[in-house]
Structure 1
Amino acid sequence: MPAHVFDLNVNKLEPLCTQLVVTRKKNKTTHVQFNPADPVIIVGDERGLITCLKLSPNLRKKPKEKKGQETKKGPEEEIAKLEKLLSLVRQPGSKEEQ
């Protein structure tokens, strides 16, 4: 089973990269943990195997700011971006919205 990395600001449908995290087709991924400080993801499967993935420096590059354009930075801006994307896939009347 592969892990896919997406840049949702660029393309929501096509991953930037794909990495195999479970080697056998019968094994299922059961846990994913993101590191809040570093670009690292830990993936565990049903057999207790753990795979540690570190995001490539090429995939961590921030887009260049345009001259004269002010960009907002910080966790509040990132949360707002995620909420905007989630609102596109949430169904009306779901428990999350109530």
Structure 2
Amino acid sequence: MNYSALHQVLSLNLSQWLAEHRAQVSQDAAVLLSGKALLQANDSNLSPLKGVACFALANEIAALGITPTTSLTVINDEQWVALTLAAKQVITW
């Protein structure tokens, strides 16, 4: 699928990022959570992104020793490259 944008949320507080930037994330965008944002990802925190494709890298989930929420699609590095190429723009936060 092609996405209007890929928002890569790396080291920001997830709740704060959502409060400040949720309006910029359209329904045809995707969000990749990493670092601090991934550690804070749960179904409740991700509810403002309902309908938006949310992703996390499998190797990072394994390294952090966390169980991903059902709201996240877990992808490998190859899928991440495809996701990045499928987005019209990539925004790193």
TM-score band, normalised by shorter chain: under 0.3
**Higher Cα Rg, which structure:** 1
**Which one scores higher on RCO, CA 8 angstroms, separation ≥ 6?**
2
Structure number having the greater helix percentage: 2
TM-score (norm 1): 0.23
Q: Name the structure with the higher strand share.
A: 1
